[in-house]
Chains A and B, each alone.
Chain A
Amino acid sequence: MTRDSTALPLFERQYAEQRSRRRRTNALGAAIFVACLAAAMVVGQFDLVRVADGLPRIFEYIGKILPQLRAESFGEDMAYWFYGLPDWLALLWETVLMAYTATLLGTLGALALCFLAANNLAPGRKTYFLTRRTLEFARTIPDIVYALIFVFAFGLGPLAGILAIAIHSMGASGKLFAEAAENIDMKPVDGLKGVGANWLQTMRYAALPQVLPNFASYTLWRFELNVRTAAVMGFVGAGGIGQELITAIRMLYYEDVSALVLLIVATVTCIDLLCEKVRHGFIGKENLA
Chain B
Amino acid sequence: MSLTLADLTPERIAAVRQRAPTVFAPDPRRQMLTCGGWLAMILLTAYCLVHFDFSPMRFWNGLSELGAILRHMFPPQSGGAFMEFVGAIGETLAMAFLGTLFAAVMAVPLSFLASKNVFRFSLGRFFVRRGMDFLRGVDQLIWALIFVRAVGLGPLAGIFAIMISDTGTLAKLFSESVENADRKPVEGVRASGGSAVQTIRFGLLPQVLPMFLSSALYMFESNVRSATILGIVGAGGIGYQLSERIRGHRWEEACLILIMILITVALVDLVSKTLRQRLIGKGRH
- Across the interface, which residues of A come within 8 angstroms of B229, CB to CB? 142, 144-145
B200 within 8 A of A: no
Take A46-B155, A249-B145 as given contacts and tell me if A148 and B58 are in contact as well, using a CB distance cutoff of 8 Å. Answer: no
Residue A75 at the chain B interface, CB threshold 8 Å: no
Q: Are A144 and B52 in contact (CB under 8 A)?
A: no
The 8 Å CB contact of B159, one of A44, A62, A140, A228, is A44
Interface of A is mostly: helix
Complex interface: chain B residues within 8 A of A46 (CB): 94, 98, 155-156, 159
Closest-by-CB residue of B relative to A245 is B142
Q: Is the beta-carbon distance between B142 and A261 smaller than 8 angstroms?
A: yes
Interface of B is mostly: helix
Known contacts A153-B62, A232-B142; A142/B228 CB under 8 A? yes
- Shortest distance in angstroms between B207's beta carbon and chain A's nearest beta carbon? 18
With A and B bound together, what is the CA distance between A94 and B261 in angstroms?
A: 31
Query: Do the beta carbons of A144 and B141 come within 8 Å of each other?
Result: yes
Complex: A101 Cα to B42 Cα, angstroms: 11
A45 on the B face (CB < 8 A): yes
- On chain B, the residues within 8 Å of A100 by CB distance are 44, 48
**A145/B65 in contact, CB under 8 A:** no
Residue B53 at the A interface, CB < 8 A?
A: yes
Give chain B's interface residues, CB within 8 Å of chain A: 44-45, 48-49, 51-54, 58, 62-63, 65-66, 69, 87, 90-91, 93-95, 97-98, 101, 133-134, 137-139, 141-142, 145-147, 149-152, 154-156, 159-160, 225-226, 228-229, 232-233, 236, 242-243, 246-247, 249, 254, 258, 261-262, 265
B95 adjacent to A148 (CB under 8 Å): no
Q: Which residues of A contact B261 (CB under 8 A)?
A: 141
CB distance from A156 to the nearest CB of B (A): 12
Contact call B242/A235, Cβ cutoff below 8 A: no
Report how far A150 CA is from B48 CA in the complex, Å: 19
Residue of A nearest to B51 (CB): A97
Residue from B101, B145, B155, B243 within 8 A of A245 (CB atoms): B145
Contact A58:B49 (CB < 8 A) given known A235-B145, A249-B145: no
B contact residues around A162 at 8 Å (CB): 52
Question: In chain B, what residue has the closest Cβ to A53?
Answer: B151
Within 8 A of B (CB), among A27-60: 36-37, 39-46, 50-51, 53-54, 57-58, 60
Cα(A36)–Cα(B246), bound, Å:
31
Q: Which of B62, B97, B249 interacts with A36 by CB under 8 Å?
A: B97
A159-180: contact bitstring with B at CB < 8 Å (1 yes, 0 no)? 1001100000000000000000
- Chain B hits for A148, CB < 8 A: 232, 242-243, 246-247
In the complex the two chains form, is B138's CB within 8 Å of A261's CB? yes
Chain B residue with Cβ nearest A267: B137
Q: Mark A80-113, 1 if CB is under 8 A from B, else 0.
A: 0000000000000010011011001000000000
Residues of chain A touching chain B, judged by Cβ–Cβ distance below 8 Å, are 36-37, 39-46, 50-51, 53-54, 57-58, 60-62, 94, 97-98, 100-101, 104, 140-142, 144-145, 148-150, 152-155, 157-159, 162-163, 228-229, 231-232, 235-236, 245-246, 249, 257, 261, 264-265, 268-269
B139→A150 contact, CB < 8 A: no
Partner of A58, one of B51, B151, B225: B151
Is B156 within 8 A of A51, CB to CB?
A: yes
Complex Cα–Cα for A62 and B160 (A): 14
A153 cross-chain contacts in B, Cβ below 8 A: 62-63, 65-66, 69
Partner of B141, one of A42, A154, A232: A232
Q: When chains A and B are docked, how far (Å) is the Cα of A246 from the Cα of B45? A: 28
Query: Are B228 and A44 closer than 8 Å at their CB atoms?
Result: no
**Residue contact A41 to B138, C-beta cutoff 8 Å:** no
List A contacts of B159 (CB < 8 A): 44, 46
Among residues of B, the one whose C-beta sits closest to the C-beta of A158 is: B52
Residues of B within 8 A of A43 (CB): 87, 90-91, 93-94
Minimum CB distance partner of B152 in chain A: A54
Kindly list 5 other residue pairs between chains A and B, CB separation below 8 angstroms, not including A58-B160, A154-B58: A44-B91, A45-B155, A54-B160, A97-B48, A246-B145
